[in-house]
Amino acid sequence: MGLDAAESEFYRRSLTRSASTAKGVGDSMGLSPQEARLVAERLLALGLLAGSAEGELRAVHPVLACHPLLERAERRLARQRKELELGRATVDELAAEFSMETSSSLAEAEVHRGAAAAWSFLEHVAATASTSVQCIAASGAAPGVGETSDYTAISELAAFTARRGTHVQLLLLESIDILPSLVDGAHAMAATGVEIRTVPTLPVWVFIVDDEYVATALDPADNQAGFMVVRTPGAVAAAADLFIRHWRGASPLATPDYQTARDLMQKHRELIALLADEVKDEAIARRLGVSASTARRRIKDLCREFEVNTRTQLVIRACRMGLLD
């Protein structure tokens, strides 16, 4: 109904009291006077409390107080559903127009020169691949990706493609285990359905899309140079043969002896969700059934486990792994 954790707890506590004050309820929750007053003002505005934040407060019966909120939420949801339907129709219309504009100009071979053009092409692959994408991921980042040691951007595209129902097969170098972030990214992709194997060496970045066209890096030594896209059956067959030969000799992505980053994030998902909602430590402790000092220690340990310095960085990483809405 639009309440955060502190507001929900404040209202619940007020329900058990015939009358109370913002300070009294706030003290029982470990809130400062200012925080308690702000929460009370919010609940008063929503009609969940009666009285004034500076004086005596009384909780309004849930049936009387919550039904208007539920009706408001239902109206908001109906508007959002209508907006979503209109959005989908617009996307379909734009995609159809884009396909009509590009299909007439497709050549057997085309060049997407430069980093921006290469990345735009990768986005096109993620958005339009319908059956399969086979990728040979050579050293460095994919063409169009600026940071050569970071797979984050391309892994997010791969995960998006897999979630659309496209079969994604990815060949990675065994040397990704040098950087924990690359290993985490690989396991995050695998969790979305991307099939991953590793090999000692790979020649060049290659994408085979829907068995219809193949894209290769223009320059194996320069990931900013761009892509060459070829649509001739012979080129597609040769690229597919190259992929299959490497794939057959590759090893499945190794499962580490320790819990993967995603496993650990999943285990602490409730804690991270509370951090994302900016819930106070005392309220987190009550939700988890531990002391405030234990809650703070768990947060600190989790930040250290994932090599981040702040709670915000931890939440951002969890979002990137798809563990938070």
Q: Which residues pair with 209 in a beta bridge?
A: 133, 213
Nearest to 310 by CA among 260, 286, 276: 276
Q: What is the pLDDT of residues 77-110, one digit of tens each?
A: 888 888 878 777 777 666 666 555 554 455 788 8
The two counts, helices (H) then strands (E), for the chain are: 13, 11
* Per-residue model confidence (pLDDT) at position 265: 61
Is residue 162 within 8 Å of 194, Cβ to Cβ? yes
Handedness of CA 26, 30, 32, 35 (dihedral sign): negative
Q: Helix-strand-coil percent breakdown of the chain, rounded to 5?
A: 55, 15, 30
Q: Round to whole Å and give the CA distance between 259 and 242.
A: 34
Q: Domain spans of the chain? A: 5-60, 109-252, 261-320
Phi, psi of 208, deg, nearest 5: -115, 115
Assign residue 148 a region (left: φ > 0; alpha: ψ between -120 and 50; beta: otherwise): alpha
* Per-residue model confidence (pLDDT) at position 258: 42
Report DSSP letters for 270-303, one per residue.
Answer: HHHHHHHTT--HHHHHHHHTS-HHHHHHHHHHHH
- Please give the CATH topology (third level) of the domain spanning 109-252: Endonuclease; Chain A (3.30.870)
Nearest to 181 by CA among 317, 324, 1: 317
Q: What is the pLDDT of residues 229-246, one digit of tens each?
A: 999 999 999 999 999 999
Q: Round to whole Å and give the CA distance between 120 and 102.
A: 14
- Tokens 């000692």 label which residue? 200
**Does position 73 have pLDDT exceeding 60, yes or no?**
yes
Which residues make Cβ contacts (< 8 Å) with residue 48, sequence separation at least 6? 11, 59, 60, 65, 66, 69
**Does position 257 have pLDDT exceeding 50, yes or no?**
no
Is residue 247 within 8 Å of 241, Cβ to Cβ? no
Q: Round to whole Å and give the CA distance between 247 and 196.
A: 9
Specify the 3-state DSSP secondary structure of 53.
Answer: coil
Q: What is the pLDDT of residues 14-31, one digit of tens each?
A: 988 887 889 899 999 999
CATH of 5-60, one of 1.20.1250.20, 1.10.10.10, 3.40.1190.20, 3.40.50.740: 1.10.10.10
Residues across the chain: 325
Which residues make Cβ contacts (< 8 Å) with residue 287, sequence separation at least 6? 5, 270, 274, 279
- Tokens 């980093």 label which residue? 115
Nearest to 52 by CA among 75, 79, 20, 95: 20
Specify the 3-state DSSP secondary structure of 228.
Answer: strand
Higher pLDDT, 140 or 39: 39
Answer whether 5-60 and 261-320 agree in fold.
Answer: yes
Residue type, 219: D
Structure tokens belonging to residue 173: 């170098």
**pTM of the prediction?**
0.52
What is the CATH architecture of 261-320? Orthogonal Bundle (1.10)
Specify the 3-state DSSP secondary structure of 50.
Answer: strand
**Does position 293 have pLDDT exceeding 80, yes or no?**
yes
- What is residue 90's DSSP assignment? H
Residue type, 90: T
User: pLDDT class for 183, splitting at 50, 70, 90?
Assistant: confident
Structure tokens belonging to residue 323: 């563990």
